[in-house]
Amino acid sequence: MITDLGTSYAVAVSTAYRFRIYIGTDLKPRFYINNALVRTETTALTAATTYLFVAGVISRTTATRSIDVTDIRVSSNSTT
C-alpha cells in the first residue's frame, strides 16, 4: 500500500534528483531529496519487519511517466 504524504519540494521535468531514505536508531524514516530533508516520519517502523526497497513512478494523469534509476544502495549498521 502506498500512502501519499506529499512534500513542498518542487520538482522539474528532465531534472536529475537524488532521493535518500535514512532510518536512524529511533526507527523513524527521514526522507531527503538532493540532500535536503523533506519529511520526517513521526511513527517508528517495526524492528521485526522485513522491508523491501522499490523505485517507481506514480502518475496522477493519463500521461506516460518514466524513471531512470542509476543505482540503489542499501546498507545496515545493524548488529543482528
- In order, the DSSP letters of 5-73 are ---S----TT----EEEEE-TT--EEEEETTEEEEE-SSPPPTT-----------SSSS----------
Give a yes or no: residue 80 inside a domain: no
Domain containing residue 40 = 1-72
The pTM assigned to this predicted structure is 0.64
pLDDT one digit per residue (tens) for the chain, 80 residues: 445 566 667 777 788 888 888 888 888 888 888 888 888 888 888 877 777 777 766 667 777 777 777 777 776 665 54
Q: Number of structural domains, the chain?
A: 1
Give a yes or no: residue 4 inside a domain: yes
Give a yes or no: residue 78 inside a domain: no
Give a yes or no: residue 54 inside a domain: yes
Give a yes or no: residue 44 inside a domain: yes
pLDDT of residue 53: 73
pLDDT of residue 57: 67
Give a yes or no: residue 79 inside a domain: no
